[in-house]
Amino acid sequence: MKAVLQRVSEASVTIDGHKVAAIQAGLLILIGIEDADTQDDILWLTQKIAKLRIFNDHDGVMNVSVQDTGGNIIVVSQFTLHASTKKGSRPSYIKAARPEVAIPLYEAFITQMGHETGKKIQTGRFGADMKVALVNDGPVTIIIDTKNKD
């Protein structure tokens, strides 16, 4: 499971001209799921994200988490995080999980993220053509791969 975390001052998701999610300060999480992902990956990743100290404290030092700030979260599925560009000019997405595997894990991730933060998690729609808008605060962008926990 791969996640791209973007600390935002605002973010939104629009589908077919309708805004389906919008937040102020918090995190926009792009999540990519592969066949090898399990509930253990979800638990590890949601705990890591909830406690990751990437928000500024009163001294302007990144020392508080989204959980500490009460920040909001939008989660957007993004299979392209598993793109392989090893050969040729066209990325391969063979590692990305098929919808029948990915959708239950995506939904479990959202539920667990809400449990970890105590917040209602806003989302895009799995498989939809989404327009994601954000103002990256910092900018702060963190990439986490559950298969590489270094």
CATH number at residue 37: 3.50.80.10
Catalytic: which of 78, 112, 117, 123? 78
116 lies in some domain: yes
- 103 within a domain of the structure (yes/no): yes
Structure confidence by residue, pLDDT tens digits, 90-136: 999 999 999 999 999 999 999 999 999 999 999 999 999 999 999 99
Q: How many CB atoms lie within 10 A of CB 38?
A: 12
The answer to whether residue 24 is catalytic is no
Q: Is 79 assigned a catalytic role?
A: yes
Say if residues 1 and 39 touch (Cβ distance below 8 Å): no
* Tokens 């406690």 sit on residue: 51
Q: Is residue 150 part of a domain?
A: no
Catalytic residue among 24, 38, 39, 80: 80
Segment 4-46, tens digit of pLDDT: 999 999 999 999 999 999 999 999 999 999 999 999 999 999 9
Is 55 a domain residue? yes
Residues 6, 46, 79, 117: which is the catalytic one? 79
Q: Which domain holds residue 46?
A: 2-145
Q: How confident is the model at residue 149 (pLDDT cuts 50, 70, 90)?
A: confident
Residue 48 domain-assigned (yes or no): yes
Is residue 126 annotated as a catalytic residue, yes or no?
Answer: no
Inside any domain, residue 85: yes
| Residue 10 buriedness (CB in 10 A; 0-12 / 13-18 / 19+) | middle
Answer yes or no: is 134 within a domain.
Answer: yes
62 inside domain: yes
Query: Into how many domains does the chain fold?
Result: 1
For residue 129, what are its two tokens? 């053509």
